[in-house]
Structure 1
């Protein structure tokens, strides 16, 4: 599966996703500057990304815990998600995300 990620400068890179890994793990593995302080435990908002509008409806809705963590993030938009809560699978092949501001 492929993930298309834009960094904070607008440069898009293609990442080969690994089934069962989170998008946060794949972004970190690709060397993108995503902090992910809690390591994927949904206990911070430092893996905040924007989901491309064409993908928002295809995702499982954010859990209450994720929504609570997003309340602590900067520049939250309707398409904001925590990348640690999005697991790579064939259903997400081609997903496009953009790193949110730090």
Structure 2
């Protein structure tokens, strides 16, 4: 198992155990750090919005058109904004760092 480093909405840091092949949204949700993921990973709600740390953005696969379209519906985006339901955890991203943005 690997690790995802997360800063939650209150500013607290968490090192979460990650499971190969799981969506990052599922890992965040199951660890109870404040992730809803209402659509269950269908790229349909954007409730799993995260901000990936700058050092990690280029290490992740490029977002697909569906993800970009859904992100465009959010009121506030940052350079590392992604939908965590579209990021599948693998050993290549062990140590991934991200922040849960403040809800608007």
TM-score bracket, normalised by the shorter chain, equals over 0.9
Gaps of 5+ in 1: none
Give the aligned partner of residue 92 of structure 1.
Answer: 93
Give 1:17-96 correspondences, 5 Å limit. 17-96=18-97
Runs of 4+ in 1 over 2 A off after TM superposition: none
TM-score (norm 1): 0.96
SS in 2 for 1:15: strand
1:35-92 Cα offsets, whole Å, 9 max, x none, are 2111110011110000000000111111000000001123211210000000010001
Contact preservation (8 Å) 1:75, 1:100 = no
1:33 and 1:62 map into 2 onto residues whose CA distance is 23
Q: What RMSD over aligned residues (CA atoms) do the two structures have, in Å?
A: 0.8
Contact preservation (8 Å) 1:46, 1:73 = no
Give the aligned partner of residue 16 of structure 1.
Answer: 17
TM-score (norm 2): 0.94
Q: Aligned pairs, how many?
A: 102
